[in-house]
């Protein structure tokens, strides 16, 4: 599992999220947002 936080995220719909977070699990993006919590695992 990979958790990236406080990044500048460009989504496929053209939205730009400042200080965004991305959660990747098993090579797939499972969550994108601004206020995601880091998983405890």
Position 40 scores a pLDDT of: 87
Match 């400042």 to its residue by tokens: 18
pLDDT digit string, tens, across residues 8-23: 999 999 999 999 999 9
**pLDDT (mean) for 15-38:** 95
In this predicted structure, the answer to whether residue 7 has a pLDDT above a threshold of 90 is: yes
Q: Rounded distance, CA 41 to CA 21, Å?
A: 16
Residue 5's pLDDT band, with cuts at 50, 70 and 90, is very high
Is the pLDDT at 41 greater than 80? The verdict is: no
Phi–psi pair at 37, nearest 5 degrees: -95, 140
Q: CA 33 from chain center: how many Å?
A: 6
- Can you give the pLDDT at residue 29? 96
């Amino acid at each position: 599992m990979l958790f990236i936080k406080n990044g500048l995220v460009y989504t496929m719909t053209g939205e730009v999220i400042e200080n965004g977070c991305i959660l990747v699990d098993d090579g797939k993006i499972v969550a994108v947002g601004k206020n995601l919590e880091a998983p405890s695992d």
